[in-house]
């Protein structure tokens, strides 16, 4: 049986924030561009489970590609946020020193390092901090303000990068896993789980934690990634937190933080635990305990707060310590964008630009004349008679749900709908409205409810028809 | 719907219906409910043994002439008139859009939400197949089974009724008492596979593809945030002996003031409120 082969100029593997940012930047050129994502929606990997901070990069190791791209991203974000209407808030971050040693580290190491990265830290006394943030532990010694740090919606960012690219002619395939690659003379053949074959002039490997495995599909064993777990506790009560609260970072991680969430509530965490299994997203009693202990030093009042939800994400840690953005040892037609450990969201606009420049030079691409820079505000475009509330706890209307189901990159799963609209994220966690949302899905998309998943295959909230009601 | 009402009732659950049956709302009254019918969330589990009075109330209560009942109409905000003034303003969303309604007195009767698994820090994964009774009942009503091997975790009569409903639909059900067994792990991906309990120091696991988490209710008061209505630590609206909140002219009744009480208490409170607010005795 001869399968159709799709010829494309650039094929991106991975629909995380990194692959999606690249997609949008490559879509500026006259080229056939596709993105393949294994999960049923974009932003299902590490990009969905993180602190959601747009870091300035003040503590990045100076001189690294990471530091350079973070600096570049600082210039690009304002436009990206404006054009893609991304919910963003420049909260600033308070760096908190809880001991004299930490204060010395802040003054002698972190402040000069930030300076080299082009970020100015403003020193704050203990009293100034407590005045700004009365929930902070009065036993602290002092700290600094990092003005440029902010919070964002990572899912919105990723989705909007993709939707904007789709509007400009790019294609996004979800639920498609790359299972094989063969390096040919003029292209790379990319094979997928559902039998599609692509012949790509350039393949961008942005498969996050799995990019070492994707590299191996092409016979490239030049790098390996290990997962480092970060667990979080989410609390609904904001405790008056209006800044990101950062401890003094150490070598392994940025430590356990307090981060306000753009849509309300506060995140406590993450932990930093090296684990074996790339699919181990379980939260553990020990991890949650560690978070509460860490928070007790910074903001004791929050340490015991009731938790609305807990979750974990996995960082992709490379042996080099820096981003790995380079061509494969196996072929100049395969470009790795890997090891984007703790700052991929923040650096994404600049990573996208950087990779698109490489693709342009490699393939001799020309800018398209009619690139649409701005994403229409689909999600607020509602129709008459759709004003009733479906998600009770968040007061989200039928119109908002239907707008998401009608958008350029509509959700295929209930989690996809949740992330696009905020439905099911309130106090009842979707127990009241999920059955109604399932019906709307069915009406709008013709979905078979037994195949409508929460996220992955086999995660439908229902498993069979009630016996005797099969035909209903 | 516009104009000024004597009384606006937020929620058409058991406590509101009980108050109406006892004579409340005969004049210039308007009532709103998120759902498409009166009866509250409990209605999805009815009829059921032990809930005969509630079922009878839902079936027999007539909406009086002077009461406009709006279903599929959710009160999303309350702007009280302070300092003894009136009217109070309710922000309501329904099909036609968002509107404001004014009333001299307001009765908050919007009940509770079932406490979901996410509120307890139970270690393990986040699989499909973990839900509270309201979701299980709705899925059954739509003609779908939420699982084939279920554990219902809870002690309430409602937990038992839920277990029975599932069993009647052909699901293999185990009922586990929350006061005897502590839930210590939820495992499986993408769907629930195993639930682990600890009883008297002993740990044991059970295979299941559905966990109905039925440990109790919390007040449904997220929409009152910022309204100035006093709520307790657990979110319940605080009222005095006459069911009046800290704002004169705004009253509350039912699960929204006492999430741990039974539906029988809601029925009794509804009657009491009716007599206090001027229903016919
Ligand atoms: C605890 C924690 C906190 C963090 N906090 C922040 C923060 O505050 N700010 C910040 O900027 N960054 C933060 N990060 C880092 C940030 O989340 C990552 O750098 C970023 O999400 C990486 O994006 P990605 O696109 O490379 O990876 P991913 O989001 O994992 O995307 C890779 C995608 O590739 C897909 N894929 C893999 N293999 C295949 C295949 N064979 N075929 C098709 N598709 C495939 C995967 O399904 C996945 O969707 C944090 C990370 C963690 C874990």
CA of A223 to the centre of ligand 1 (A): 17
A143 and A242 together in one domain? yes
A176 and A112 together in one domain? no
pLDDT given for residue B84 in this prediction: 65
Q: Is residue A468 part of a domain?
A: yes
Whether residue B197 contacts residue B183, with contact meaning beta carbons closer than 8 Å, is answered with yes
Instruction: List pLDDT tens digits, range A429-438.
Output: 999 999 999 9
A299 and A330 together in one domain? no
pLDDT given for residue B281 in this prediction: 44
Residues of A in contact with B209 (CB under 8 A): 463
Q: Is residue A291 part of a domain?
A: yes
The last residue of a domain, from among A363, A398, A430: A363
A331 and A345 together in one domain? yes
**Nearest CB to B114 within list A385, A428, A458:** A428
Q: Which residues lie closer than 8 Å to A82 by C-beta, 6 or more apart?
A: none
* Contact call for A462 and B218, based on CB within 8 A: no
Sorting pLDDT into bands at 50, 70 and 90, what band is B175? very high
Instruction: Decide if pLDDT at B2 tops 70.
Output: no
Q: For the residues of A309-353, what is the DSSP string, one character each?
A: EEEEEEEEEETTSS-EEEE-SS-TTEEEEE---S-HHHHHHHHHH
Long-range contacts of A417-423 (CB under 8 A, 24+ apart): A417/A441, A419/A41, A419/A43, A419/A48, A419/A155, A419/A159, A420/A155, A420/A159, A420/A379, A421/A379, A421/A391, A421/A396, A422/A263, A422/A391, A422/A394, A422/A396, A423/A390, A423/A391, A423/A394, A423/A396
Q: Is the Cβ of B126 closer than 8 Å to some Cβ of chain A?
A: yes
Residue of B nearest to A450 (CA): B144
The mean-pLDDT minimum among A126-130, B81-85, B107-111 falls in B81-85
Instruction: List pLDDT tens digits, range B143-152.
Output: 999 999 999 9
Instruction: Decide if pLDDT at B3 tops 80.
Output: no
Instruction: List pLDDT tens digits, range B200-251.
Output: 999 999 999 999 999 999 999 999 999 999 999 999 999 999 999 999 999 9
Instruction: List pLDDT tens digits, range A316-372.
Output: 999 888 999 999 999 999 999 999 999 999 999 999 999 999 999 999 999 999 999
Q: Give the CATH number, domain containing residue A424.
A: 1.10.10.1100
Q: What is the nearest CA distance from A377 to chain B, expressed in angstroms?
A: 19
pLDDT given for residue A314 in this prediction: 96
Which numeric CATH code is attached to B116-213?
3.50.50.60
pLDDT given for residue B232 in this prediction: 95
B4-113+217-276 and B116-213 share one CATH topology? yes
Q: Give the bridge partners for B219, in sequence order.
A: B112
Alpha-carbon torsion A382, A385, A391, A393, what sign? Answer: positive
* Contact call for A463 and B147, based on CB within 8 A: yes
A141 and A245 together in one domain? yes
Sorting pLDDT into bands at 50, 70 and 90, what band is B22? very high
A55 a catalytic residue: yes
A102 and A163 together in one domain? no
pLDDT given for residue B104 in this prediction: 95
Structural domain boundaries in chain B: 4-113+217-276, 116-213
- Tell me what percent of the residues of chain A surpass a pLDDT of 70: 97
Domain count, chain A: 3
Whether residue A233 contacts residue A310, with contact meaning beta carbons closer than 8 Å, is answered with yes
Sorting pLDDT into bands at 50, 70 and 90, what band is A471? low
- Tell me which of A345, A350, A457 to substitute to probe ligand 1's pocket, judged by most ligand atoms within 8 Å of the beta carbon: A345
Average pLDDT on A420-428 reads 91
User: Widest CA span of chain B, in angstroms?
Assistant: 63
The last residue of a domain, from among A331, A363, A395: A363
Q: Is residue A70 part of a domain?
A: no
Give the atom of ligand 1 at the shortest distance from the alpha carbon of A19. 25
Q: Is the Cβ of A1 closer than 8 Å to some Cβ of chain B?
A: no
Residue B58 and residue B35: Cα distance in Å, rounded? Answer: 14
Give the atom of ligand 1 at the shortest distance from the alpha carbon of A270. 1
CA of A47 to the centre of ligand 1 (A): 4
Q: Give the bridge partners for A89, in sequence order.
A: A151
Residues of A in contact with B72 (CB under 8 A): 388
A332 and A382 together in one domain? no
Residues of A in contact with B119 (CB under 8 A): 306-308
Residue of B nearest to A424 (CA): B116
Whether residue B166 contacts residue B172, with contact meaning beta carbons closer than 8 Å, is answered with no
A43 and A121 together in one domain? no
Sorting pLDDT into bands at 50, 70 and 90, what band is B161? very high
The angle, 0 to 180 degrees and rounded to 10, between the axes of the packed helices A65-84 and A154-167 is 70
**Nearest CB to B190 within list A310, A426, A457:** A457
Instruction: List pLDDT tens digits, range A80-123.
Output: 999 999 999 999 999 999 999 999 999 999 999 999 999 999 99
A469 and A382 together in one domain? yes
pLDDT given for residue A46 in this prediction: 97
Instruction: List pLDDT tens digits, range A199-257.
Output: 999 999 999 999 999 999 999 999 999 999 999 999 988 889 999 999 998 766 679 99
Q: Is residue A71 part of a domain?
A: no
pLDDT given for residue A123 in this prediction: 98
As a whole number, the mean pLDDT across chain A is 94
Domain containing A458: what range?
378-472
Instruction: Decide if pLDDT at A159 tops 60.
Output: yes
Q: Is residue A63 part of a domain?
A: no
Q: Is residue A88 part of a domain?
A: no
Which residues have C-beta atoms less than 6 Å from ligand 1?
A 13-19, 36-39, 44-47, 50-53, 55, 177-178, 206-210, 214, 230, 270, 313-315, 340, 342-346
- Tell me what percent of the residues of chain B surpass a pLDDT of 70: 98
Q: Is residue A368 part of a domain?
A: no
Q: Enter the ipTM.
A: 0.95
A391 and A355 together in one domain? no
- Tell me what percent of the residues of chain A surpass a pLDDT of 90: 87
Dihedral (C-alpha) A361, A25, A53, A15: value to the nearest 10 degrees?
-100
Which numeric CATH code is attached to B4-113+217-276?
3.50.50.60
pLDDT given for residue A448 in this prediction: 87
* Contact call for A388 and B190, based on CB within 8 A: no
Query: Smallest Cα–Cα separation from B126: which of B140, B135, B116?
Result: B116
A269 and A343 together in one domain? no
pLDDT given for residue A215 in this prediction: 98
Q: Give the CATH number, domain containing residue A328.
A: 3.50.50.60
Residue A76 token pair: 């690009």
Sorting pLDDT into bands at 50, 70 and 90, what band is A1? very low
Residue nearest to atom 33 of ligand 1 (CA): A14
pLDDT given for residue A378 in this prediction: 75
Which A positions 437-466 lie with beta carbon below 8 A of chain B? 438-439, 449-450, 453-466
Residue B183 and residue A76: Cα distance in Å, rounded? Answer: 48
Whether residue B215 contacts residue B178, with contact meaning beta carbons closer than 8 Å, is answered with yes
A100 and A197 together in one domain? no
Query: Smallest Cα–Cα separation from B111: which of B230, B237, B208, B278?
Result: B237
């Amino acid at each position: 049986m001869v399968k159709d082969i799709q010829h494309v100029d650039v094929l991106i593997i991975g629909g995380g924030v990194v692959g999606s940012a690249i997609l949008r930047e490559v879509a500026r050129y006259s080229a056939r561009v596709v993105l393949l994502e294994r999960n049923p929606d974009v932003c299902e990997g590490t990009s969905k489970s993180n602190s959601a901070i747009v870091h300035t990069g003040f503590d990045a190791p100076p001189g690294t590609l990471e530091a350079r791209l973070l600096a570049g991203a600082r210039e690009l974000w304002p436009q990206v946020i404006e054009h893609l209407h991304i919910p963003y808030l420049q909260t600033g971050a308070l760096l908190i020193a809880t001991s004299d040693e930490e204060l010395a580290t802040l003054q002698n190491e972190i402040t000069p390092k930030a300076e080299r990265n082009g970020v100015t830290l403003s020193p704050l006394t203990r009293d100034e901090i407590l005045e700004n943030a009365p929930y902070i532990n009065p036993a602290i010694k002092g700290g600094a303000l990092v003005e440029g740090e902010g919070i964002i919606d990572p899912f919105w960012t990723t989705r909007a990068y993709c939707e904007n690219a789709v509007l400009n002619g790019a294609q996004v395939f979800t639920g498609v896993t790359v299972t094989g690659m063969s390096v040919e003379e003029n292209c790379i053949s990319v094979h997928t789980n559902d039998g599609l074959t692509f012949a790509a002039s350039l393949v961008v490997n942005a498969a996050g934690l799995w990019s070492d495995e994707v590299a191996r599909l092409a016979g490239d064993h030049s790098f390996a990634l290990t997962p480092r777990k970060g667990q979080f506790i989410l609390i609904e009560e904001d405790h008056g937190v209006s800044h990101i609260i950062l401890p003094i970072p150490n070598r392994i991680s940025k430590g356990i933080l307090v981060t306000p969430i753009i849509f309300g509530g506060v995140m406590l965490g993450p932990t930093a635990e090296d684990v074996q299994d790339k699919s181990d997203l379980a939260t553990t009693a020990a991890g949650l305990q560690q978070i509460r202990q860490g928070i007790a030093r910074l903001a004791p009042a929050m340490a015991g707060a009731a938790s609305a939800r807990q979750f974990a994400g996995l960082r992709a840690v490379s042996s080099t310590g820096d981003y790995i953005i380079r061509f494969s040892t196996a072929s100049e037609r395969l470009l790795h964008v890997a090891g984007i450990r703790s700052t991929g969201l923040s650096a994404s606009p600049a990573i996208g630009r950087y990779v698109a420049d490489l693709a342009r030079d490699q393939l001799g691409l020309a800018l398209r004349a009619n690139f649409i820079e701005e994403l229409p505000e689909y999600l607020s475009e509602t129709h008459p008679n759709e004003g009733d509330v479906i998600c009770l706890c968040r007061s989200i209307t039928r119109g908002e749900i239907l707008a998401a189901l009608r958008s350029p990159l509509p959700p295929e799963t209930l989690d996809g709908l949740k992330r696009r609209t905020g439905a099911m994220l309130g106090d009842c966690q979707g127990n009241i409205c999920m059955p109604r949302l399932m019906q709307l899905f069915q009406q709008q998309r013709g979905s078979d409810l037994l195949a409508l998943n929460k996220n992955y295959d086999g995660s439908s909230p229902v498993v069979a028809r009630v016996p005797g009601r099969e035909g209903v | 719907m516009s104009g000024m009402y004597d009384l606006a009732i937020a929620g058409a659950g058991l406590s509101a219906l009980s108050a109406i049956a006892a004579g409340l709302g005969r004049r210039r009254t308007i009532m709103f409910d998120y759902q498409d019918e009166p009866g509250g969330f409990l209605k999805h589990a009815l009829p059921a043994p032990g809930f005969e009075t509630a079922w009878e109330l839902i079936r027999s209560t007539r909406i009086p002439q002077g009461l406009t009942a709006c279903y599929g109409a959710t009160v999303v905000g309350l702007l009280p008139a302070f300092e003894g003034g009136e009217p109070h303003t309710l922000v309501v969303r329904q099909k036609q859009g968002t509107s404001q309604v004014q009333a001299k007195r307001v009765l908050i009767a919007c009940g509770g939400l079932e406490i979901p698994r996410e509120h307890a820090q139970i270690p393990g994964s986040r699989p499909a197949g973990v839900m509270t009774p309201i979701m299980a009942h709705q899925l059954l009503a739509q003609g779908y089974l939420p699982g084939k091997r279920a554990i219902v975790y809870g002690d309430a009569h409602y937990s038992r009724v839920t277990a029975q409903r599932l069993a009647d639909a052909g699901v293999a059900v185990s009922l586990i008492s929350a006061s005897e067994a502590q839930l210590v792990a939820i495992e499986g991906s993408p769907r629930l596979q195993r639930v682990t309990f600890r009883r008297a120091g002993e740990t044991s696991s059970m295979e299941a593809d559905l966990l109905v988490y039925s440990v109790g209710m919390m007040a449904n008061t997220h929409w009152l945030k910022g309204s100035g209505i006093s709520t307790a630590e657990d979110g319940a609206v605080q009222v005095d002996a006459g069911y009046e909140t800290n704002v004169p002219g705004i009253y509350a009744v039912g699960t929204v003031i006492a999430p741990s009480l039974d539906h029988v208490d809601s029925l009794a409170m509804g009657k009491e409120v009716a007599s206090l607010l001027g229903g016919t005795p």
